[in-house]
Amino acid sequence: MFLKLRGLKYEVRPPGAVHEDDLTRIDTCWSVAVGLSMVDNVRAADFQARQLLLSLRSGDLERITRALTFEVGFVAGPGSAAAEASAKLLQKAGELAQRVGTPYATGFHTLMSGVREYLAGCWKRAFDFSEAAEQTLRERCSGLTWEVTNSQRFALGSLMYMGDLPEVLRRLPVLLRRAHDRGNLYVATDLRTRIALPWLALDDPGRVEHEVEDALARWTDKGFHLQHFNSLMALGQKDLYTGHPERARDRLVQQAKPLGKSLVLRMQVPRIEVVQLRARLALAIAAGRKGSEAQALLRDVTKEAAAIDKEAAPWAMPLAALLHASVAAARRDTTSAIDLAERAARGFDAADMHLHAAVARTRKGELAGGEQGAALIEDARAWMAARDVRAPERMVATLAPGPWGGAG
């Protein structure tokens, strides 16, 4: 609150004019903030605010630049609601990075540009920035483990949303080997708990469960961190794939309180992810229910889809459209379901979410029937086969589950 009232004004002081103790305090807050940023975002934000305030007071240009650049990730967390504010801050930080002129300032600004794009659901731009950041930070700087590994992390996450699962699996062993060789528990746990869809594409749901459970066994059980959230999502995907949605729903209910207290859902991307997972689980359960019970579940899905619509995030709008299509199909409103599935497919293509687009067109093809429907299904399956999706029907049922043939 004090930082908000104070503003971001500063007066640059010449090198050597800042007391060494002040620089030490800044760097200590920096170390804690980056160390916690991808584990406990709320506590990281506290130390980031301290670091930013101390940097502005100090007048040290390089530390001011670093602090303002890092602040972009925290400001961008709410997603679409913070797009304008994060864009302005990123521009201000970019001007300072150019003024500082070091490879680190440039590379770190590029990394946070990628983080901002990721939090906005702009997966291709996030990937491109993350790749460029890694190259600069790895080739022109030294000793930057956190910056480099997070460049890789956001590149990998972007690839998953883009549906390039073979590339994820090509990169993953290399990144895990480096993490294990360096004893980097954070990176190893983060990678192992986040990767689900690529293993499911290989029709290996057991690998998802093994990776998550083994990773969490090595992680702390105190608190609820991003790694616990990622595990919830990964196991939920696995349970959908294996036909056990009730198990995943029970797990979400059991973890609802620690998840809420963690404030992870203050960030838009995980908030949309958990809402969309809940909706898919309800659809999958509805497929095995009849009458009023099935209809109640479909009403829940409609509410969840409306919640995603309210987020006004372009990348998430097709997710909501596909949920609406699922409900329409279950209620035998085939015309609406086909239109909504096509809207979802076009939206996914625009968002570079091509696996989701193939799934949406598969569902549209099933509803349309005839030669046109068969062609849509064939094209979608060919796209998935080219990306090593070994059981396309199960992948479709995971990303677009439900009683597409109608609920009783």
Dump pLDDT digits (tens) for 148-159: 999 999 999 999
Residues in the chain: 408
Residue 263 included in any domain:
no
3-state secondary structure of 359: helix
Residue 249 included in any domain:
no
Domain identity same for 155 and 173: no
pLDDT at position 313:
97
**More confident: 262 or 6:** 262
Give CA separation, 282 vs 170, 293, 327, 388, in Å.
Answer: 33, 11, 11, 28
Sorting pLDDT into bands at 50, 70 and 90, what band is 406? low
Domain identity same for 184 and 325: no
Question: What share of the chain in percent tops pLDDT 90?
Answer: 90
Q: What angle do CA 317, 319, 321 make, to 5 degrees?
A: 70
Domain identity same for 106 and 179: no
Residue 314 included in any domain:
yes
Amino acid at 92: K
Q: Residue written as tokens 């528990």?
A: 185
Question: What pLDDT, in 10s, does the model give residues 20-75?
Answer: 999 999 999 999 999 999 889 889 999 999 999 999 999 999 999 999 999 999 99
Query: Mean pLDDT, the chain, as a whole number?
Result: 95
* Angle formed by the axes of helices 103-119 and 268-286, nearest 10°: 30
Residue 262 included in any domain:
no
Answer for the pair 343, 360: CB distance below 8 angstroms, yes or no.
no
Residue 300 included in any domain:
yes
Answer for the pair 82, 38: CB distance below 8 angstroms, yes or no.
no
Domain identity same for 207 and 313: no
Sorting pLDDT into bands at 50, 70 and 90, what band is 408? very low
Question: What pLDDT, in 10s, does the model give residues 346-400?
Answer: 999 999 999 999 999 999 999 999 999 999 999 999 999 999 999 999 999 999 9
pLDDT at position 92:
97
pLDDT at position 99:
97
Residue 265 included in any domain:
no
Burial (Cβ within 10 Å: 0-12, 13-18, ≥19) of residue 37: buried
**DSSP codes, 19-70:** -HHHHHHHHHHHHHHHHHHTT-HHHHHHHHHHHHHHHHHHT-HHHHHHHHHH
Q: What angle do CA 88, 90, 94 make, to 5 degrees?
A: 120
Q: Can you give the residue range of the structural domain that contains 132?
A: 1-159
Domain identity same for 91 and 198: no
Say how far residue 195 (Cα) sits from the centre of its chain. Answer: 11
pLDDT at position 9:
84
CA distance 328 to 92: 47
* Angle formed by the axes of helices 354-368 and 392-399, nearest 10°: 100
CA distance 14 to 149: 33
Domain identity same for 25 and 155: yes
Helix then strand then coil, in percent of the chain rounded to 5, is 80, 0, 20
Domain identity same for 94 and 199: no
Amino acid at 130: S
Domain identity same for 92 and 22: yes
Answer for the pair 99, 83: CB distance below 8 angstroms, yes or no.
no
- CATH value at residue 123: 1.25.40
Amino acid at 84: E
Domain identity same for 153 and 190: no
Burial (Cβ within 10 Å: 0-12, 13-18, ≥19) of residue 267: buried
Phi-psi region of 381 (alpha: psi -120 to 50; beta: other; left: phi over 0): alpha
The total number of structural domains in the chain stands at 3
Q: What angle do CA 123, 32, 147 make, to 5 degrees?
A: 35
Residue 250 included in any domain:
no
CA distance 390 to 394: 9
Say whether pLDDT at 222 is over 90.
no
Say whether pLDDT at 91 is over 80.
yes
Amino acid at 320: A
Neighbour tally for 206: CB within 10 Å? 11
Say whether pLDDT at 129 is over 90.
yes
pLDDT at position 159:
98
Domain identity same for 68 and 184: no
Sorting pLDDT into bands at 50, 70 and 90, what band is 5? low
CA distance 147 to 213: 27
Domain identity same for 9 and 81: yes
CA distance 292 to 297: 9
pLDDT at position 178:
92
Phi-psi region of 254 (alpha: psi -120 to 50; beta: other; left: phi over 0): alpha
Domain identity same for 15 and 129: yes
Q: What angle do CA 267, 67, 135 make, to 5 degrees?
A: 85
- Here the tokens at position 20 are 């060494």
- Residues 6 or more apart in contact with residue 90 via CB below 8 angstroms: 72, 109, 112, 113, 116
CA distance 118 to 126: 5
Phi, psi of 167 (to 5 degrees): -70, -35
CA distance 258 to 246: 20
Average pLDDT over residues 68-96: 96
Question: What pLDDT, in 10s, does the model give residues 159-218?
Answer: 999 999 999 999 999 999 999 998 899 899 999 999 999 999 999 999 999 999 999 999
